[in-house]
Structure 1
Amino acid sequence: MKTYQTVILLCFFSMLFYNCSLPADDEEKRGLNGEDTITSELPWEGETDKFTINSKGIHLNDPQEDAGTAYVTIPSTSVKNTRWEFGVHLTFNPSANNYARFYLTSSSNILSGDLNGYYIQIGGTKDNVTLYRQNGEQSKLLASGRELMKGDSSPKLYIKVECDNNGYWTFWTRRESENEYVKEKQIKDTDIQTSRYCGIYCIYTKTRCKGFTFHHIQLSNDVETNTTPDETPDNPGTDLPDNPDTPESPELPEDVRGMLLFNEIMYNNATDGAEYVEIYNPTEQAIILPALYLYKMYESGTVYSTTILSNEESSDPLTIPSKGYLCFSKYPGKVIRKHKVNGENLIEITKFPALNNDGGYLALSSSKKPEKGHTFDTCCFRDEMHDSDNQKTTGISLEKKSPELSSLNKNWRSSKHATGGTPGIKNR
């Protein structure tokens, strides 16, 4: 029965999308205000309550009006010999906390979880369009486009992607003001050859919960099968000849907010444990810095203590891998024994500041001075933020419910782990 339903859906998509491409000339160009019956008629599923789907496309409209993520999918088994084309309009300039993904292929209809597939990312730490492959929870950058959204507070784009029979992926972009597509990059990748869904995934803060619109979404299966690269494929993993194993780090923008986030704080440790602060990298690239700076602040935001976070025993820079963790403590040995972790992501800081058991305020910065734009994240910690049934807080860390979201008080909870914390590893 499932096979029969799949065949019916494939036939439906073939008839609906076959050879449908956006016109290039001005007279026929379709913008955001044009009718888009194709997108609205697709069989969307998932978190449809967070979107408005009508003749103008599919628009994020989170009824909670809060920070979060949202996704919708449609069935699609297309990978090779396929063209994907869509328009996107953002009402803001994207950032590390506000960006979108269009999943070209996916093994799962839950785009917020582990899956195998390819996706186009719109924005992030840079104002460009990029192609990624995702295996489980790990994403690999395949190709980066021009920074066509830089300085644009309301970017309107069209994006076209093709995968041919030989596994060559090519993508193009076009601003609404441009008459023709600009070829961005091309790369061969055949790591994933099957799909079950394609879809849209938005990551946003409270002020952007209504700022995403996708429209004129089209697929077709008429791509030529004899593509050969006309230039050197984009491969970020091969441009570091001195140390090919070193991950690429993005150049820090003027405003680094959200590129690194607090993720776990042990401020009232057990006698056999130690205080620690854990950070998380929500971006798609490793971040490499010679040092970080941890501020202790008053509620007013005034800084009264600054601690340098660095590798004290070597000149190696700090490396926080994409979707990875780094934890700092004065006594990493105690942390390892207490919480039964391997210590791979623990850094010893001999001058690690004492954290007040009554709570406090912290900030993480790329600068020794609290300058505008250099602060990655700020957070509060206090007993009232715990959610333990027995109200016990000694020896139990505060951890993020959703690591990729902002450090609002309601995004914290008591660690559920049997040891009271998960320093350097995923919250459990």
Structure 2
Amino acid sequence: MRIYKVFTLLGLFISIFYNCSLPADDEEDSEGEDTATSELSWEGETDKFTINSKEGVHLNDPAEDSGTAYVTIPSTSVKNTRWEFGVHLTFNPSANNYARFYLTSSSNILSGSLNGYFIQIGGAKDNVTLYRQNGDQPKLLASGREVMKGNNSPQLYIKVECDNNGYWTFWTRLESEDGYTLEKQVKDTGIQSSVCSGIYCVYTKTRCKAFTFHHVRLSNGVETTTDPDNTPDKPDSEEPDITELPEDVRGMLLFNEIMYDNATDGAEYIELYNPTEQTIVLPQLFLYKMHEDGKVYSTTTLQNESPSQPLIIASKGYLCFSKYLDKIIQKHNVNRENLIEISKFPALDNEGGYLALSSTPKTGKGHTFDTCRFWDEMHDTDKSKTIGISLEKKSPELPSLNKNWRSSKHTTGGTPGIKNM
């Protein structure tokens, strides 16, 4: 009798385990518990998630504020690996609310610099995309269909495989669809090691409880049947989408460096920093010169020489504007990357002043990215030796307060377009 009970319980456990696996193409969505996902060894910012057999992995940020959150599971597989998971968003994703499932990562801190591959759900477009990330820079490899377009509460399943030849293939299936749709296949062998897989969410205050991942499963035994003659070896290419800005843009872009009293062989410039987790793409920006009371007396449009080409500021990246790029390049030993020439760049007062960066040519609530003051007293060197020395942020991601500025420590007097010393 006891043996019979043991086998009965064992059979029940096996039944539950397999029912919690990702549904096959011809199966209906499981409506029961997701024991398999909840029993994985999740680590990271677990205080921001609810993880149980009922919900899977559900974002539940107790701070109820905008931000990012991640959890990871150990995984060293790259080739010969299949990743499967379901995802449910209670909103239509946007540039400020989207999710990533990291297939591989060299770091278990998904909010920092890492090398890996990830699937992004949403963003500027309502599609599913495959990326490779090197350091802080994501590279689009393949774009899928816009499965979430017009869907305010998308529920879908995603399957990704990497075979032994380094060919990546991914499929998607909406909950309303009977089977998976093959999206794209592309070859990429740029990263061949991993320490974990994981979930990474980017959200505004109203979406801090709106992400759920479930039926997460990793497995091996991927069949290597890729025909190199019929499979693209080059990543997708697509034009960047203009970033959808929230009602209040403050803090999305920050002043990071100001050269206002340049040497004779140099030039004035301002440098911006993008502290967010997303690349920001805008047709133009607007630089205000202001009086101490905040009244604007000069507005300059910051844009590429070709107005049809938008400004692109990568996540954790820099963009510098000046009237004389050749002088800056020669003086500071930098290349043209992250530098934009503005023929009508305003003269900055050598005695100091006030600046603001805006998304519109007119002042208004919610349109200002950042404001700052630049003054000789903010230098931390001998005030008689500040000519040709820029003011730079100590911590680029922090507010532009007087105490967060110092004299540039670089031998050339500044670091336009690159990280501060």
Q: TM-score, normalised by structure 1?
A: 0.72
Q: Give the Cα–Cα distance (whole angstroms) in 1 for the partners of residues 121 and 295 of structure 2.
A: 36
Task: Please state if 1:58 is matched with 2:57.
Answer: yes
Residue equivalent to 1:99: 98
SS at match of 1:72: strand
CA gap 1:267/1:163 in 2 versus in 1, 3 angstroms: closer
**Alpha-carbon separation, structure 2, partners of 1:71 and 1:24:** 29
Q: 2:318 aligns with which of 305, 325, 331?
A: 325
Question: Against the structure 1 CA distance between its residues 268 and 217, is the aligned structure 2 distance closer, same or farther, given a 3 Å change threshold?
Answer: same
CA distances 1:228-250 after superposition (whole Å, capped 9, x unpaired): 3796538446x6xxxxxxxx432
Q: Distance in 2 between matches of 1:124 and 1:302?
A: 36
Alpha-carbon offset, residue 121 of structure 1:
0.9
Aligned runs of 1:73-152 on 2, under 5 Å? 73-152=72-151
Equivalent position SS for 2:151: coil
Q: 2:37 aligns with which of 36, 39, 63?
A: 39
Q: How big is each residue's C-alpha offset from its partner over 1:388-427, in whole Å with a ceiling of 9 and x where there is no partner? A: 999x99953457744xxxx9879x9436853586431135
292, 298, 306: which one aligns with 2:284: 292
Pairing partner for 2:272 from 266, 270, 278: 278
Moved more, 144-153 or 62-71: 62-71
Instruction: Please name the residue that 1:309 is paired with.
Output: 302
User: Would you say the 8 A contact 1:274–1:329 is kept in 2?
Assistant: yes
Shift of 1:311: 5.0
What is the CA distance between 1:364 and its match in structure 2?
3.2
CA contact (8 A) 2:287 2:301 kept: no
Deviates most, 226-235 or 151-160: 226-235
Q: Contact between 1:297 and 1:362, CA under 8 Å: does it hold in 2?
A: no
Whether the aligned pair in 2 keeps the contact of 1:51 and 1:58 (CA below 8 Å) is yes
Give distance in 2, aligned partners of 1:278 and 1:67: 22
Q: Closer, same or farther in 2 for the Cα pair 1:139/1:165, shift >3 Å?
A: same
Q: 1:81 to 1:344 in 2, by over 3 A?
A: closer
Task: Show the counterpart of 1:262.
Answer: 253
Q: CA deviation at 1:380?
A: 3.1
Distance (Å, rounded) in 1 between the aligned partners of 2:409 and 2:82: 49
Shift in CA distance, 95/339, structure 1 to aligned 2, threshold 3 Å: farther
**Aligned-pair distance for 1:212?**
1.8
Query: Aligned pair in 2 of structure 1 residues 344, 229: CA closer, same or farther (>3 Å)?
Result: closer
| Displacement of 1:150 | 1.9
1:69 aligns with 2:68: yes
Give the superposition deviation at 1:105.
Answer: 1.3
Where 1:38 maps in the other structure, the secondary structure is: helix
- Farther-moved stretch of structure 1 (303-312 vs 333-342): 333-342
Residue from 366, 381, 388 that aligns with 2:372: 381
Structure 1 SS opposite 2:36: helix
Matched to 1:250, the amino acid is: P
Deviation at 1:147, TM superposition (A): 1.1
Deviation of 1:145 (Å): 0.4
Task: Judge conservation of contact 1:18–1:219 (CA < 8 Å) in 2.
Answer: no
d(CA) in 2 for partners of 1:130, 1:213? 18
Aligned to 1:49: 47
Structure 1 residue 44, shift from structure 2 partner: 1.1
C-alpha separation in 2, matches of 1:292 and 1:67: 25
Q: Which residue of 1 aligns with 2:242?
A: 252
* Cα root mean square deviation, aligned: 4.5
Q: 1:320-343 CA deviation, whole Å, 9 max, x = no partner?
A: 374443211346577668877556
Q: CA deviation at 1:269?
A: 4.0
The residue that corresponds to 2:22 in the other structure is 21
| Residues 276, 330 of structure 1: 8 Å contact kept | no
Of the two, which has the highest radius of gyration? 2
The verdict on how the C-alpha distance between 1:128 and 1:305 changes in structure 2, with shifts beyond 3 A counting, is: farther
Q: Provide the aligned length of Structure 1 versus Structure 2.
A: 385
Partner of 2:4: none
In structure 2, what is the Cα distance between the partners aligned to 1:370 and 1:229? 55
Q: What's the CA shift string for 1:30-72, capped at 9, x where partnerless?
A: 25xx421111111111222222211211122223333322221
Structure 1 stretch displaced more, 278-287 or 93-102 = 278-287
Q: CA deviation at 1:355?
A: 6.7
Query: Superposed, which structure 2 residues align to 1:155-304 within 5 Å?
Result: 155-228=154-227, 232-233=231-232, 235-236=234-235, 248-252=238-242, 255=244, 261-266=252-257, 269-270=260-261, 272=263, 274-278=268-272, 280=274, 292-296=284-288
CA–CA separation in structure 2 for the residues paired with 1:206 and 1:335? 40
Distance in 1 (alpha carbons) for counterparts of 2:49 and 2:407 = 32
What residue is the counterpart of 1:11 in the other structure? none
In structure 2, stretches of 5+ residues that fail to align are 1-16
Q: Is the 8 A contact 2:97 2:202 kept in 1?
A: yes
Give the distance between the partners of 1:219 and 1:166, measured in 2 at CA. Answer: 19
Q: Share of identical aligned residues, percent?
A: 59
Contact 1:330–1:349 under 8 Å retained in 2: yes
Amino acid at match of 2:286: L
AA aligned opposite 2:419:
K
Superposed displacement of residue 104, structure 1: 0.8
Query: What is the letter of the counterpart of residue 225 of structure 2?
Result: N
